[in-house]
Structure 1
């Protein structure tokens, strides 16, 4: 189909509503690492459906609602951590992304887009920590603004049935943070994330998409903890039943590629490198004025992180 017509379909189907919102789905726990607190600035699993396609020129707003629950904390060997028991993490997040695709402006044959994301979180954590001095019950609750994301420039190319986006995002430590708290809305460090997204449409009703990013994290000056760098891939394979309905399988792969360090030393001697793979079904419906998608993602093959279930409800609306 002509790209102008296809782009209209993509807008109706909610293409960009599945792109980077800064949702903190995990938190900081003194006994949990794989990046400080076992979490990440990036909301793993958000960029799945049609992630390589930019929206049409103009202004766009996206709403992301996420719920995450975990009752297991995995250790370095992939088994439940022996230092923690009765683990329970429940996290809810709402994020709003504002996007502007520049009209009549191109660079290297690409259309240009700017984005900003405003996230809010509600975190609840309970666990028993086993130490040399005995077992201690730990719990915490936090609600509020999390860390903002700024994406000053994304380049979008559209070549037949192959669509690509190249961009750079910055995560800013705007959420509140207190070292005496078990959980915090903010992570208290900066992150820079170059990213690349691609969507291939080999047939009119078939879609394969992926978004890869590399997160470079700064030091948390309050704790002198330096979370390791992260490599993340969100993916989707979808089939369009009708012009408005799509079903698919989506998820993510997360791999920490450098050690956590504190005071210049590798944490726990092994760097507490995190890992996770997630997969689950998705369904989406879209019109030209409103789109919505529902996704479920089950985590497995987890190392040094909570292992749980992630639910997404994502919506898109254009505005001028």
Structure 2
């Protein structure tokens, strides 16, 4: 599955990466993530809803600097994919992708400052940051499928330092990624997609979000030729410090971490597929901890 940007930013220094978000929408590329579609053009539609009522600190407990935390986010994204006919490289078929995401964000909380408690709130709706994947290599070796690619996140979403939340993150990201799907028997699937996000500096704030390592995963059982149930989720870990004005942020680099798991159900044919996924976050550090729901659809249009 493709990436659809979900971004949120707020002006406090108690959460991983700037605003505690990421260009990459964790948990999206789970089912059949290593399977490249056949030659031709394809469209994927992703609808996401996320809700969090706690903001975890560096020790994995709710941060003392914020209370009454509430983040609600919805996203709709469209991935356009083209697998090139009669073109191969190193035995792989070639694919190009682009992702067009839109978000709706609602955030409010009480911030505890030396001068007292301050209520903060903000909303934002609009185009988020586009993703361009110029080249993906896909290998299909019996029951083992693999995809290797590189994506770029472009700061096309609206951004204003005076706003509490923004549709865009105002920096570039480069993400090499590798996905694999193994079907040891025809009705059992194990899939994973790993990526490493290298983030540039937000020049509006001189904030440099740390690099991120992310794994989306799925284990599924197909109980009829078209229906599958399974377990999917993601693991997120920030591997370098956040910095601002050249200094590590918050004394510990604000390194975020979270694990998510939940059930999924999918229906698919060669001409159409749809999946519904629920993912519960746990073990969060320096970021919100909440619940995520995905509704994903696919169809070819060649």
Interval of TM-score (by shorter of Structure 1 and Structure 2): over 0.9
> What residue is the counterpart of 2:244 in the other structure?
262
Q: 2:37 aligns with which of 45, 55, 74?
A: 55
Give the alignment's TM-score, normalised by structure 2: 0.99
How far apart are the structure 2 equivalents of 1:78 and 1:103?
49
> What residue is the counterpart of 2:100 in the other structure?
118
Q: 2:223 aligns with which of 241, 248, 251?
A: 241
Give the alignment's TM-score, normalised by structure 1: 0.93
Q: Check whether the contact 1:148–1:173 (CA below 8 A) recurs between aligned residues.
A: yes
Q: Matches of residues 157-196 of structure 1 in structure 2 within 5 Å?
A: 157-196=139-178
CA RMSD after TM alignment: 0.8
Q: 1:217 aligns with which of 183, 199, 210?
A: 199
Q: Matches of residues 76-225 of structure 1 in structure 2 within 5 Å?
A: 76-225=58-207
> What residue is the counterpart of 2:292 in the other structure?
310
| SS across alignment from 2:184 | strand
Structure number with the higher helix fraction is 1
| SS across alignment from 1:233 | strand
Q: Check whether the contact 2:7–2:167 (CA below 8 A) recurs between aligned residues.
A: no
How far apart are the structure 1 equivalents of 2:69 and 2:42?
39
How far apart are the structure 2 equivalents of 1:27 and 1:284?
33
How far apart are the structure 2 equivalents of 1:20 and 1:190?
18
Per-residue CA deviation, residues 200-226 of structure 1 (Å, 9 max, x unaligned), is: 111111110000000000000000000
Asked if 1:274 is matched to 2:256, the reply is yes
> What residue is the counterpart of 2:21 in the other structure?
39
| SS across alignment from 1:203 | coil
Q: Check whether the contact 1:20–1:43 (CA below 8 A) recurs between aligned residues.
A: no
- Segments of structure 1 that go 5 or more residues without pairing to the other structure are 1-18
Q: Check whether the contact 1:27–1:123 (CA below 8 A) recurs between aligned residues.
A: no
How far apart are the structure 2 equivalents of 1:310 and 1:197?
22
How far apart are the structure 2 equivalents of 1:188 and 1:157?
35
What displacement does 1:28 show? Answer: 3.2
What displacement does 1:287 show? Answer: 2.1
Q: Check whether the contact 1:76–1:272 (CA below 8 A) recurs between aligned residues.
A: yes
Q: Check whether the contact 1:72–1:306 (CA below 8 A) recurs between aligned residues.
A: yes
> What residue is the counterpart of 2:51 in the other structure?
69
Q: Check whether the contact 1:23–1:119 (CA below 8 A) recurs between aligned residues.
A: yes
Q: Check whether the contact 2:257–2:284 (CA below 8 A) recurs between aligned residues.
A: yes
